Amino acid sequence: MNTGIISSRYAKALLRFTSDRGDAEKTCAQAMTLEKAFRELPRLRQIMEDPAAVGDGEKMSLMEGAFGDEPMTGSLRKFLSLVLQKGRIGDIRLILHSFIDMYFKSKGIRFATMVTAVDPDPSLVEKIRAAAKERLGGEIMIETKVDPSIIGGIIFTVDDYRVDSSVKTQLETLVKEFTAKNKRIV
């Protein structure tokens, strides 16, 4: 069976389960924390994907560690136990990503990323959120990332919509145009 279909089915089940229990918002926040831990800690990802690395109880403890002192919601704990039991923990990143996406869509919230060369001023983030909300409708949740390689400007992505006003991209465009014009002259 296709991994995308599996993750989608598990994510739908988690969304229904958490909605029925009334802790979907909290579970989504914890799913985002856990998904971020998997994204930023490659060794954690490897341990989860390797069935022989550690036992299921240790895997659960590692995932609980992502929340620090905050206890994991009962819904997320039960769900992760099920995923471990069914041998699908290798798909957990995709499952969590699908769940987060489904949760936001069910609430009419769009998830966006904003990449800048330096930490953005909160007022800039709010202006961009307001402009995106006006243009696209619905609530916009923005995750900011810092990438010094873009030199300056921003890269804003929401759904399939992307605005790249980074200095790096503008310089690359100038180089391409300059090279193309000079090739015609020779």
DSSP helix/strand/coil, 110? strand
CA nearest 29: which of 66, 81, 78? 66
Range scoring the smallest mean pLDDT among 14-18, 106-110, 148-152:
106-110
| Residue ranges per structural domain of the chain | 3-105, 108-185
DSSP helix/strand/coil, 152? coil
pLDDT tens track for 165-180: 999 999 999 999 998 8
Quote the pLDDT of residue 1: 47
Q: What topology does CATH give the domain 3-105?
A: Peroxidase; domain 1 (1.10.520)
Looking up tokens 């499952």 gives 95
Record the tokens describing residue 176, joined without a space. Answer: 């391409």
Summarize the confidence of residues 21-49 as an average pLDDT: 92
Query: Is the per-residue pLDDT at 120 higher than 80?
Result: yes
Predicted TM-score (pTM) of the model is: 0.75
In Å, how far are 27, 65, 66, 78, 172 from 72, measured between CA atoms? 8, 9, 9, 10, 46
pLDDT tens track for 123-141: 999 999 999 999 888 899 9
Within the chain, residue ranges assigned H as helices are: 3-21, 24-40, 42-49, 56-65, 74-85, 92-106, 122-136, 167-185
Record the tokens describing residue 7, joined without a space. Answer: 């993750």
Query: Is the per-residue pLDDT at 45 higher than 90?
Result: no
Does the domain at residues 108-185 carry the CATH identifier 3.40.30? yes
